[in-house]
């Protein structure tokens, strides 16, 4: 019985390092992939103009530009106060001529 427990401990010790190393190496890939999906690819309803904006790379580009032009720190749009969101949507609709045909609501 003691020999069986010793054999089991050696097996766990030998493979535990490999399992931990695999976990450490794959964790950043999983975390980055999840955060990238959350950042783009969702719809935001603009209640002021009663339309929807697909939050993709194009919309994100406009948003970052708006942040720079209005001297705001970068923040996820969904975490912005309602007044900032309204200001962005007004700015966005005032810049409709900047869009090309690929960037439709």
pLDDT digit string (tens) for the chain, length 105 residues: 656 667 766 776 776 677 666 777 776 766 655 554 455 688 999 988 899 989 999 899 999 999 999 999 999 999 999 999 999 999 999 987 665 544 444
Cα 52 to Cα 45: distance, rounded to the nearest angstrom:
4
| Domain residue spans of the chain | 1-39, 41-98
Nearest CA to 50 out of 99, 89, 95 is that of 89
């Amino acid at each position: 019985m003691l020999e069986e427990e010793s054999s089991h401990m050696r097996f766990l010790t030998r493979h535990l390092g490999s399992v931990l190393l695999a976990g450490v190496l794959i964790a950043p890939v999983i975390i980055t992939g999840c955060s990238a999906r959350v950042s783009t690819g969702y719809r935001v309803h603009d209640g002021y103009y009663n339309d929807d904006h697909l939050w993709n790379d194009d919309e994100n580009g406009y948003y970052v530009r708006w942040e720079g032009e209005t001297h705001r720190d970068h923040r996820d749009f969904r975490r912005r106060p309602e007044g900032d969101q309204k200001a962005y949507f007004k700015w966005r609709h005032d810049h409709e001529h900047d869009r090309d045909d690929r960037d439709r609501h």
